[in-house]
Structure 1
Amino acid sequence: MKAQSPNTRPVTKNLGGINSTLVEQEERRQDLGFGTKLNDAYSRLINKDGSFNINRVNDSFWDRLNLYNRLITMRWSKFLGLVLLFYVSENLVFASFYMLAGPENLRGLLDVTDGSTFGQFWGAFFFSAQTLTTVGYGHISPVGYVTSLIAAFESMIGLLAFALVTGLLYGRFSRPVAHIRFSRNAVFAPYLDVNGWMFRIINTRSHQLIDLQVEVTLSRLEAKPDGTRYRRYYGLNLERAKVTFFPTNWTLVHPITSESPLHGCTPEDLKESDAEFLILLRAMDDTFSQVVHTRYSYRFDEVLWGRKYRVMFDSSHQGIVRLDLDKLDDTDPAPLN
């Protein structure tokens, strides 16, 4: 979206015989969904991990927990740690039930332990693990209705729990994720006969992404005639917003022409307006045949002025292009036009 020229006469709309310039301007206003009221300076809209910098309050417990989404999207180390914690905790709980029902009601328990309370508890713990997983080695078996009822209930819990964990594992493996790495900083660099705002991305995985599309929006604070500040959004036109293949790195460029909202901006202007560049990337994952997306943002203090990106690849290795991912963030001085 191009910034409106100051000399452009605002278009009015007739609403029941009343011309409303404000309604027309509101209908043409671009908004990503954050609204104009987020005007606290020095707070980003999109975090570095792509999540929104919004803290919800007064929502219900279950809405806040959002258990399935958390288990699907959390890190693998945390997920496996929770599975292990649940497995151990459940066996500890049922081992305690077996001890409360009486260790004498577990036939064969004294034969595999030293007879101490501690030994009997761990014998009950391992019997619980065998019952939970339906392994059932057979050297310990329940005696009486109470202990048999506990064992039957634990078997049912085990079947349900492993079915859920299997579903979560499948969901985590089958969920396509865009493993896109963004350069640490964006840059203002010379571009053709003008300057350009740029950032660079790479695909960190060997799988193929096709039909990549990128949208960039500038968010900044502006002042109304009465002096109050509100947040406004400008879509930044890119030199190239779509590519068919993505085998190497891609430097995306917004040319700063006279029609750009960044025309004439200085580092001080971006800081004063609490500027943030919001990025949305969509692509087709060739492995999963599904659309993947990722979000990112650069704030005004994450933009380097008078720098350009260093070349990441060369083809001097027996005709094979070599891409050095460690050079993604490397820049060199480049005086602006």
Structure 2
Amino acid sequence: MSKKVGAKISKLEEERNRKDSGFGTATTSTRARLILPDGSFNVKRKGQSFSAWLNLYHRMITMPVFEFVLVIALSYFVVNLVFAGMYYWIGIEHLSGIDEQTQFVSPFWGAFFFSSQTLTTVGYGHISPLGSLTNAVAAVEALVGLMMFALITGLVYGRFSTPSPKILFSRNILVSPYLDMNGLMFRMINERNSHLINVKVNVMMSRNEKDETGKLTRKYYNLALERDFIQFFSTSWTVVHPITPDSPFFEETPEKMAASDTEILIAVEGMNDAYSDSVHVRTSYLYNEFVWGRKFVPILSEKGTGYIIDLDKINDSIEASLNS
């Protein structure tokens, strides 16, 4: 085998073994965060098709509750508005009994309220359609109503049935004394009363480095943890990366981290025992969210025959001298 072929194979093996979080190695900025604190990816897509951009089901499932209720209410109002306009265009006289309802409201709003009764299949019976065209519109509206509320029911079920873990992370990641060395530490707590089991955490460090050609590229390093798996996530978990001479964080300083745009990427995976479904949570810490020479204070205390965990103390820490 020639040296040239051997070099190519060596390069290929190096590329295969290269760590990558999925963001690639290209970098155009030294101040671009990869993962936002809420776990969303700091990536914007350009040139999407309309259907891919809309992704209506995903939007409805993941949007905040207030926005979801507002969209449903507006959709209900708009559909009734459209059918009320159709009844009004056909002629109010084709709605039998509407005269009684329109004594206190305008004929259009009388048609609107008849539309709402038809859409929901309530049908109080005070108003009924007359003529083939009006009956046809009412029949179509009844079908639209059945489909609309079936979709809403599915969306509501989807929102309630989808596991929504609420894991709190400490505001900062600390560099603290650990055993006879130092360690990189952050704390997380399961805020909900639901229980997570078989929880695994993966921690990766990302930073900009120059390659052999002098080109600035983004490098990724898996950080070995004191432990990366726990059976029961019932209280809090302080995740620790021991800073040994083999650690890519060894001999790091705040100045070096700022210059290389260092970011710690965290992925948590576990099982929700109530849903028997996997849950996934992400977050990250940027170089300016590191605090050196502090350690977390305990937040678990005993009370009677049980334990109390104080979520308000998740960020509490005290000064601690680092080991040399």
Could you state the TM-score of these two structures normalised by the residue count of structure 1? 0.92
- Shift in Å, 1:226: 2.6
Greater CA deviation, 203-212 or 31-40?
A: 31-40
Structure 1 segment 259-278 matched on structure 2, within 5 A: 259-278=246-265
Distance 1:61 1:186 in 2: 40
What's the secondary structure of 1:19's corresponding residue? helix
What's the secondary structure of 2:98's corresponding residue? coil
The structure 1 segments of at least 4 consecutive aligned residues displaced by more than 6 Å after TM superposition are 13-16
Partner of 1:306: 293
What's the secondary structure of 2:123's corresponding residue? coil
Structure 1 segment 157-176 matched on structure 2, within 5 A: 157-176=144-163
Are 1:32 and 2:21 an aligned pair? yes
Greater CA deviation, 26-35 or 210-219?
A: 26-35
Distance 2:205 2:108 in 1: 63
| Contact residue 174 and residue 184 of structure 2 kept, 8 A | yes
Partner of 1:104: 93
Partner of 1:193: 180
Partner of 2:133: 146
Partner of 1:137: 124
Out of 12, 18, 25, the position equivalent to 2:6 is: 18
Structure 1 segment 1-337 matched on structure 2, within 5 A: 17-20=5-8, 21-114=10-103, 119-315=106-302, 317-337=303-323
Distance 1:309 1:102 in 2: 73
Distance 1:73 1:14 in 2: 56
| Contact residue 172 and residue 291 of structure 2 kept, 8 A | yes
Greater CA deviation, 64-73 or 234-243?
A: 64-73
| Contact residue 177 and residue 293 of structure 1 kept, 8 A | no
What's the secondary structure of 1:173's corresponding residue? helix
Partner of 1:6: none
Aligned length: 322
Report percent identity of matched pairs: 48
Q: Deviations over 1:49-69 (max 9, x none)?
A: 211111000110001111111
Distance 2:291 2:126 in 1: 70
Q: Deviations over 1:201-241 (max 9, x none)?
A: 00011111101000000010001233210000000001010
Distance 1:322 1:204 in 2: 13
Distance 1:111 1:68 in 2: 42
Q: Deviations over 1:159-208 (max 9, x none)?
A: 00001111111111111122211111111111111111111000011111
| Contact residue 27 and residue 216 of structure 2 kept, 8 A | no
Distance 1:39 1:190, change over 3 A: farther
What's the secondary structure of 1:110's corresponding residue? helix
Distance 1:15 1:181, change over 3 A: farther
Q: Structure 2 counterpart of 1:91, which letter?
A: N
| Contact residue 177 and residue 320 of structure 2 kept, 8 A | yes
Q: Deviations over 1:249-284 (max 9, x none)?
A: 100000000000000000111111101111111101
Q: Which ranges in structure 2 are unaligned for 5 or more consecutive residues?
A: none
Distance 2:5 2:144 in 1: 69
Q: Which ranges in structure 1 are unaligned for 5 or more consecutive residues?
A: 1-12
Distance 2:290 2:224 in 1: 18
What's the secondary structure of 2:295's corresponding residue? strand
